[in-house]
Structure 1
Amino acid sequence: MKKLWLDIGNTRLKYWITQDNNIIEHGAEMHLQSPADLLLGLMQHFKKLNIQSVGVSSVLDLESNQRIRKLLNRLKVPVICAQVQAEYAGLQCGYDVPQQLGIDRWLQVLAVAKDPHKKYCVISCGTALTIDLADGLQHLGGYILPNLYLQRDALIQNTKGIKIPDAAFDNLNPGRNTIDAVHHGILLGLVSSIEKVLQSSPRELVLTGGDAPLFAEYLKAYQPRIEHDLLLKGLQYFFAQHPDSTV
């Protein structure tokens, strides 16, 4: 039985095709603020795969999600969209208004926080760097920070007379030129923020997202675990608990 899993973020659309819980295809593309158009271009491919069901994680607004849903209905299979809830599968949401928590963050915590006796720190190193904390099955909330590249772009846009080309975020040493000072400073700021959170309360550290290996290098003291496709695991767990969930 083939299943399609979609993660629609603010800048990228990711999809996985699974069969018997094994990933047989994976794709990710920038949607340039037009995810429905990108999805439309993929529909013919999906139709050929004999998909039996679709699970969706989307951070888009209601109108955009309705367009996505309308397109996916062309597959003529069940389409279920995950939603943040005050409580789900025993996990309590830490937000005052649960619906304000990004579904991507909720699913990642849901995938990890299953032991009531452990403390967790789940960090997604994507377009934004998000930090979510959980004590057992109680989500505590978290933090959202601009990622490495957003910070660099903001500095370029707001600093006159200084050109900051792309360079590696490769170490935390004091920069001996402006380019290195910028890159090392941004990386230092984010690593230090994470360390501050972890020092306040020891936790199991889980990293996911494209920059997870980079941050893991500087957080070795906390024995980080890198989880690839963590959002997919959260989606699968979400629907495994209540396969008849509806939008």
Structure 2
Amino acid sequence: MRNLWLDVGNTRLKYWITQDQQIVEHMAELHLQSPADLLLGLIHHLKAQELDCIGISSVLDPTNNKRMQNTLSLLGIPITFAKVHQEFAGLRCGYQDPTQLGVDRWLQMLAVEHNTACVVGCGTALTIDLIENRKHLGGYILPNLYLQRDALIQNTKGIQIPDAAFLELTPGTNTLDCVHHGILLGLVSVIEKILQQTPQPLILTGGDAPLFAQHLRDYQPIVEPDLLLKGLKRYTFTL
């Protein structure tokens, strides 16, 4: 089977095309608040792929989701939008109202093989979700490295901070290093504090997962770059 998988965030659209269990094509692009228009520009390419089905993870509103569905219906194949359930495939949601939990976080947890785990999404936000015996205990959401840096720049006059790698946790000896090392130390410390309170396997996913893994080696982190894709597949084929 050849399938299309979409991860639609607030600003970025990612897609994977898989052939059986292999990823044969992958793209990530800003959708500028109009993912349906972006998909429309890809329709001819997608038609040529002779796809069998489409699975979608979208955090957008119903209007945008409907527009995407209308565009993708031009392919004439089944379309599945993932949603959060109170219980699904043995995983129980920790929110009283499941609709308030981001579907991306839900799918990441759904993909985890461990019955108990700490799942950290290192994307636009840093999300931390705790699972115990396949029950979601709840979690935390924090601004990521770059959101924190941008907030500091906007509120600190006279400090010009260019892009730089978040690599070290040592005390900075200039403003640039102080900012980057301090933000990274704060986020790493949050994850460590949670793991000390509730020791469990640490799963890292998202673009900055390898960076955080470097500073959390003592917890033997497992880096899963395509965790959401795995969860989306599991959701679609379990329905």
- Which TM class, normalised by the smaller chain length? over 0.9
What amino acid sits opposite 1:48 in the alignment? A
Matched position secondary structure for 2:52? strand
1:136: Cα distance to partner?
1.5
Paired letter, 1:81: F
Following TM superposition, the consecutive aligned residue runs of length 4 or more in structure 1 with deviations greater than 2 angstroms are: none
Instruction: After TM superposition, list the pairs within 5 Å mapping 1:108-147 onto structure 2.
Output: 108-113=108-113, 115=115, 119-147=116-144
Could you report, residue by residue, the CA deviation over 1:50-80 in whole angstroms, capped at 9, with x for unpaired residues? 1111010000011111111111111010011
Could you tell me how far apart the structure 2 residues matched to 1:107 and 1:78 are? 19
Matched, 1:49 2:49: yes
For 1:238, the equivalent position in structure 2 comes to 235
User: Which letter maps to 1:100?
Assistant: Q
Cα shift at 1:114: 5.0
Question: What amino acid is aligned across from residue 213 of structure 1 in structure 2?
Answer: P
Aligned to 1:193: 190
Structure 1 segment 151-190 matched on structure 2, within 5 A: 151-190=148-187
Q: Offset at 1:166?
A: 1.2
Counterpart CA distance in 1 for 2:33 and 2:124 is: 14
Tell me the amino acid that sits aligned with residue 215 of structure 2.
Y
Q: What runs of 5+ residues in structure 2 fail to find an aligned partner?
A: none
Amino acid at match of 1:234: G
Note the C-alpha offset of 1:34: 2.1
**Identity of matched residues, %:** 65
Q: CA deviation at 1:126?
A: 0.6
CA deviation string 1:70-129 (max 9, x = no partner): 1111101001100001000111000111011000000000000553xxx20001111111
How many angstroms apart in 2 are the aligned matches of 1:173 and 1:90?
43
Q: Match of 1:150, as an amino acid?
A: L
Q: Tell me, in whole angstroms, the C-alpha distance in 2 between the residues paired with 1:168 and 1:8.
A: 27
Unmatched runs of 5 consecutive residues or more in structure 1: 243-247
Aligned to 1:187, the other structure's residue is in SS state helix
Q: Secondary structure at the match of 2:182?
A: helix
Q: Which residue is equivalent to 2:25?
A: 25
- Distance in 1 between residues matched to 2:18 and 2:5, nearest whole Å: 8
Counterpart code for 1:74? L
Partner of 1:51: helix, strand, or coil? coil
- Contact (CA 8 Å) 1:6, 1:16: kept in 2 or not? yes
Distance 1:79 1:25 in 2: 19
TM-score w.r.t. length of structure 1: 0.94
Q: CA RMSD in A?
A: 1.0
Amino acid paired to 1:131: I
Normalised to the residue count of structure 2, the TM-score between the two structures is 0.97
Instruction: Check whether the contact 1:113–1:136 (CA below 8 A) recurs between aligned residues.
Output: no
Bigger mean CA offset, 142-151 vs 27-36: 27-36
CA contact (8 A) 1:8 1:60 kept: yes
Alignment of 1:9-88 (within 5 A): 9-88=9-88
Cross-structure match for 2:107: 107
Aligned length: 239
CA distance in 2, matches of 1:37, 1:184: 39
Q: Secondary structure at the match of 1:141?
A: strand
How far did residue 240 of structure 1 move?
Answer: 2.0
Structure 2: how far apart are the matches of 1:153 and 1:122? 25
Q: 1:5 corresponds to which letter in structure 2? A: W
Q: CA separation in 1, counterparts of 2:235 and 2:49?
A: 23
